[in-house]
Amino acid sequence: MAHLSRFLSPLTRFRGLFSRKPARANDARSAVPAIRKATGPTLEATGLLRSFGSGSEKTFALQNVSIELRSGELNLLMGPSGSGKSTLLAVISALLRPDAGHVRAMGQDIWRMNETELERFRLRHCSYIFQGYNLFPALTARQQLEVVLQWGEGAGRTEARKRADRVLGQLGLANKAHLRPASMSGGEKQRVAIARALVKNPSFVFADEPTSALDWDNGQQVIGLLNEISRERGATVLVVTHDHRLVPFADRVFEMSDGRLQLDAPAAPDTGVFYPDQTLIDICPPHEPRLRLREPVYVNTH
């Protein structure tokens, strides 16, 4: 089982929920682009090495791993237990320093940052979603979100409540806003965790086995939401999972084995068109789970 949270100090766990990034002006749902530019990578890792232990006990968890992720895409990271998925997720999400290699995000080499800069980067740009939800037991669903906005962004009480309620409503949780985690089902708890990740409008969402504790209906709902976060809000989403049923929801599927990344695997049947100038015409209905390109189709526009 992957446990990304083991790479977090308790303080980082708490602070990682917050962002000082101002809310985007437009509600992302109203801004689903019919045509979106396929941009370059927003997150680019090269030559990552990471080991644990020493001597005969030494484990090489990452062995020269390079990967590129783009905004607006949902990426799955799969592979057998112990293949290095959680380690890779932790290294590229600014939680675990590699022994060697580079991770470039938002135009910066994140592992050249000092601790303060790293913390600011996590706060401003990253959201983390864990298998175990990581909700505060004493807070209601609404308060889980409000605290992010009030403490993280300095939002006033009224504004925080309005924004929290809007996101809870978008995730079908309006009638659960007053409940504490102990009174919620696993699926509801994970949706609250996603709402909390969403409310800060992150550029990057990193999720470690977010559906493994859920039944298939709830799991499907959760991956559908992650899909929407990438597509409608333009976030770069990376999900570690063992569940092959999630594959049709993904833009790209990366396989790891023995600390190495295998070739990018295709996800689902052709539903879009790539033009040579890299403009992607997304022909899927905005609120349907996205179907994917098996092979990019290049159309001669001349």
Residues lying near ligand ATP in the complex (CB under 6 A): 1-2, 52-53, 59, 61, 79, 81-87
Measure the CA–CA gap between 45 and 188, rounded to whole angstroms.
Answer: 34
Measure the CA–CA gap between 212 and 219, rounded to whole angstroms.
Answer: 8
- Would you say 96 or 177 has its CB closer to ligand ATP? 96
- Would you say 1 or 263 has its CB closer to ligand ATP? 1
- Would you say 62 or 199 has its CB closer to ligand ATP? 62
User: Please, what is the minimum distance in Å from the beta carbon of residue 61 to ligand ATP?
Assistant: 4
- Would you say 208 or 228 has its CB closer to ligand ATP? 208
Q: Pull the structure tokens for residue 130.
A: 């864990």
User: Please, what is the minimum distance in Å from the beta carbon of residue 13 to ligand ATP?
Assistant: 16
User: Please, what is the minimum distance in Å from the beta carbon of residue 219 to ligand ATP?
Assistant: 17
User: Please, what is the minimum distance in Å from the beta carbon of residue 186 to ligand ATP?
Assistant: 19
Is residue 208 a contact partner of residue 89, using CB atoms and an 8 Å limit? Answer: yes
Burial of 13 (0-12, 13-18, 19+ CB in 10 A): middle
Give backbone dihedrals phi and psi of 30, rounded to 5 degrees, phi first: -85, 0
133 φψ region: left (φ > 0), alpha (ψ -120 to 50), beta (else): left
User: Please, what is the minimum distance in Å from the beta carbon of residue 55 to ligand ATP?
Assistant: 13
**Partners of 141 in beta bridges:** none
- Would you say 51 or 170 has its CB closer to ligand ATP? 51
- Would you say 89 or 135 has its CB closer to ligand ATP? 89
- Would you say 56 or 158 has its CB closer to ligand ATP? 56
**Cβ neighbours of residue 246 under 8 Å, at least 6 residues apart?**
76, 211, 219, 223, 239
User: Please, what is the minimum distance in Å from the beta carbon of residue 118 to ligand ATP?
Assistant: 19
E strand or H helix at 69:
strand 59-70
Measure the CA–CA gap between 155 and 147, rounded to whole angstroms.
Answer: 9
Our CA angle for 36, 251, 5, nearest 5°, is 115
Size of the chain, expressed as the number of residues it contains: 302
User: Please, what is the minimum distance in Å from the beta carbon of residue 62 to ligand ATP?
Assistant: 8
